[in-house]
Structure 1
């Protein structure tokens, strides 16, 4: 299994051939006779919502590393081997923002398959949590240049941009916990 389209067998290095298998075009190693599965990468994110003001605010990060440098996102990233999705979301939140939340306090917001970038497909489980269930003040962490709470109207008044798909989750999270 590979996360990006393969040209060579990851086991023996032989050039792959395209075959039809299970009614889909797939890559196969003619030497090993193995089908090389191109599967999506599992990711998890969490939107922390602060409802203490007149308008709900959502914790977001500005990306400091590719892809999407300078774009705003909901904190999240790749799941580790053996890691539950909620645990991954909580870990990524703390790594990127310094804000900690118990994975048991997370609620599922959505799950989505994102459009591929450079052949890499991602499936993300999006969670949401109340600010009251989180600890710490936002500070930019591993993949972020900035971490802060935004209200939808504050964001709309700027010329900042969200990574594709993340703005939809930002607005959906802001509407939670009415």
Structure 2
């Protein structure tokens, strides 16, 4: 299995061919006769909502690394091998923002397959948490240039750009606590 389209067999190094297998166009190694599966990468993220403000706000990060440098997003990232999605979401939140929340305080917000980027397909499980259940103060951590709370109206009025695939989750998290 590979996360991006392979050109060579990861088992023997032979150049791959395309075949139809199980009704789908697949990569196939003519030497070792294996199908090289191109599967999505599992990711998890969490939107922390602060309801104590006059207008509730969602904790977001500004990306500091590709893809999407300079775009705002819900904190999240790749799951580790053997890691449960809610544990990955809580870990990524702390790594990127310095804010901690217990995995059992998370509620599922959404799960979606994101559009491929450079041949990489991602499936993300999004969670939502109440700021009252979190500890720490937002600071930019790994992969982040900034971390702060945004209200939908403040974001709409700003010149900042939200990562398109995450804006819907940002607004859904906000609505969850209204």
- The 2-side partners of 1:115 and 1:72 are apart by 17
User: How many residues are treated as equivalent by the alignment?
Assistant: 178
Q: In 2, are the aligned partners of 1:56 and 1:175 still within 8 Å (CA)?
A: no
Q: In 2, are the aligned partners of 1:108 and 1:126 still within 8 Å (CA)?
A: yes
The answer as to 2:93 corresponding to 1:112 is no
Could you say what secondary structure the match of 1:59 adopts? strand
- The 1-side partners of 2:3 and 2:75 are apart by 21
Structure-1 residue corresponding to 2:135 = 135
Structure-2 residue corresponding to 1:156 = 156
- The 1-side partners of 2:35 and 2:66 are apart by 30
TM value normalised by structure 1: 0.99
Give the CA deviation at 1:55: 1.0
Give the CA deviation at 1:165: 1.4
- The 2-side partners of 1:177 and 1:59 are apart by 13
Structure-2 residue corresponding to 1:97 = 97
Alignment of 1:60-75 (within 5 A): 60-75=60-75
Q: How large is the Cα RMSD of the aligned pairs?
A: 0.5
- The 1-side partners of 2:26 and 2:165 are apart by 28
Unaligned runs of 5+ residues in structure 2 are none
- The 1-side partners of 2:130 and 2:41 are apart by 27
- Could you list the runs of 4 or more consecutive aligned residues of structure 1 that deviate by over 2 angstroms after TM superposition? none
Structure-2 residue corresponding to 1:47 = 47
Unaligned runs of 5+ residues in structure 1 are none
TM value normalised by structure 2: 0.99
Alignment of 1:70-81 (within 5 A): 70-81=70-81
- The 2-side partners of 1:160 and 1:139 are apart by 18
